[in-house]
Amino acid sequence: MRFVDEFRDPQAADALVKAIRRTVTRPWTLMEVCGGQTHSIVRFGIDQLLPGSLTLVHGPGCPVCVTPIEQIDRAIALARRSDVVLCSYGDMLRVPGSGTDMLAERAAGADVRIVYSPMDALAIAQKTPDKQVVFFAVGFETTAPPNAMAVFQARAMGVPNFSVLVSHVLVPPAIGAVLDDPDCLVNGFLAAGHVCTIMGCGEYEPIARERGVPIVVTGFEPVDILAGILRCVGMLESGEIGVANQYARMVRHEGNPSAQRLCAQVFETVDRKWRGLGSIPQSGWDLRDEYADYDAARRFGLLAMTADEPAECLSGLVLQGRLKPSDCPMFGTVCTPERPLGATMVSSEGACAAYFRYRRRTGVSE
């Protein structure tokens, strides 16, 4: 398959591994920000090929994992209403709320539907005028433009029974929060390539400059990730600070300006609570007042709903790269995909899920 096979090529990967080994002279810790990269690293065993002095830690970039628990509870409350069709991306459905998850609600009779795009949800709303259709709009900057487009279209076409439950989060403030931690050991970052296809590279430059770290925009296939690692350790070894784009086949420096304009038109930057991480200032997007009619939380009076995360779940430490999933005392015992304590155990981008699925037993070195 073009654009995949050549980035899973064993010879290309091997050449990069050898180059990394030649480059590294000191211990370094890199954080891959995106959960998709975490899964690639663990699935392909990329970390097993790296020199021992190079440590990869997994970052907060799993949108399903950081969606606050009360937002899941709100979605469940909506799903339980007989007048609501709740539409969501598939991997939100297993995420535990305070008491239950959306798969269980669907089994109990709720109309919960998996869609591939918010535009599908908008189409359902047009076809089902006697029901309220709510799209659970979570994600980083990557998924924001289609969500903005759905709301924009709903208003333009006058679809009164469509709304979105918004929980958008932003990557740069999350990197800032990781670096703010006094115990932070991260020397350099692999930035999330898909986010940068939308937002470009510019907003990472102040972070790199002010915090003195290299940030390398990186893709998701093994060869992409190894090339990102090589670039990042090269910058660390030579003391270079700044932003490098190692995913240029997808990412332009300026990103996608029309998507950015659409997002700016529909969303405003707000303080946002992150599951496991707490509230981070100016770290999310919410609907602007002129689109408030399409905000499900306001339409259905859910803003007052709050919930506390289970204290025994340490996913906050996992999301900051401070705890390896397999070192968590709950991992694989109290917390499993069947009975998860937190979202990191069930999301397809969650670090705990990756370790559970690919590394749980003995015999495969970690």
Partner 1 sequence: MSERNAGWSVCPIPISRYPRVVMAHGGGGRIMARLISDMFRAAFDNAELNQGHDGAVLDVGAHAVTGGRIAMTTDSYVVHPLRFPGSTIGAMAINGTANDLAMCCAEPRWLTTGFILEEGLAMETLWEMVCSMADAARIAGVHIVTGDTKVVEHGRGDGMYINTAGVGLVRPGADSRPQRVTPGDAVILSGDVGRHGMAVMTVREGLEFEAEITSDCAPVWPTVRAMIDAGIDIHCLRDATRGGLASAVVEIAETSGTSIHLTESAIEVQPQVAAACELLGFDPIYVANEGRFVAFVPAAQADAAVSAMADTLPGARPAVIGRVEACDPGMVALRSVIGGERIVDMLSGEQLPRIC
Count Cα atoms within 13 angstroms, Cβ side, for 73.
14
What is the C-alpha to C-alpha distance for residues 49 and 299, in angstroms, rounded to an integer? 51
Give least dist CB 102 to partner 1, A.
11
Q: Between the CA of residue 198 and those of 4, 195, 214, 271, what are the distances in Å? A: 21, 6, 20, 21
Residue closer to partner 1 by CB (options 36, 276) is: 36
Is 182 in contact with 301 (CB distance < 8 Å)? no
Tokens 């790199």 correspond to what residue?
A: 208
What is the C-alpha to C-alpha distance for residues 331 and 338, in angstroms, rounded to an integer? 12
Tokens 């006094």 correspond to what residue?
A: 182
Q: In 10 A of CB 135, how many CB atoms?
A: 32
Give least dist CB 175 to partner 1, A.
18
Q: Can you give the binding site for partner 1, defined by CB under 8 A?
A: 1, 4, 8, 10, 13-14, 36, 42-49, 63-64, 89-94, 103, 114, 116, 138-140, 142-143, 194, 222-223, 336-338, 348-349, 357-365
What is the C-alpha to C-alpha distance for residues 125 and 128, in angstroms, rounded to an integer? 5
Residue closer to partner 1 by CB (options 172, 214) is: 172
Give least dist CB 335 to partner 1, A.
12
SS3 state at 308: coil
SS3 state at 339: coil
Residue closer to partner 1 by CB (options 73, 349) is: 349
Give least dist CB 2 to partner 1, A.
9
Query: Which 8-state DSSP code applies to residue 345?
Result: G
Residue closer to partner 1 by CB (options 27, 45) is: 45
Residue closer to partner 1 by CB (options 71, 214) is: 71
Give least dist CB 364 to partner 1, A.
5
Please give the structure tokens belonging to residue 102.
């959306």
Give least dist CB 302 to partner 1, A.
21
Give least dist CB 240 to partner 1, A.
27
Residue closer to partner 1 by CB (options 183, 338) is: 338
Please give the structure tokens belonging to residue 61.
């970039």
What's CA 62's distance to the chain center, in Å? 3
| Sheet of strand 242-245, all strands in order from the earlier edge strand to the far edge | 54-61, 28-34, 188-192, 214-218, 242-245
Residue closer to partner 1 by CB (options 94, 184) is: 94
Give least dist CB 19 to partner 1, A.
14
Please give the structure tokens belonging to residue 16.
């990069």
Residue closer to partner 1 by CB (options 90, 206) is: 90
Is 237 in contact with 26 (CB distance < 8 Å)? yes
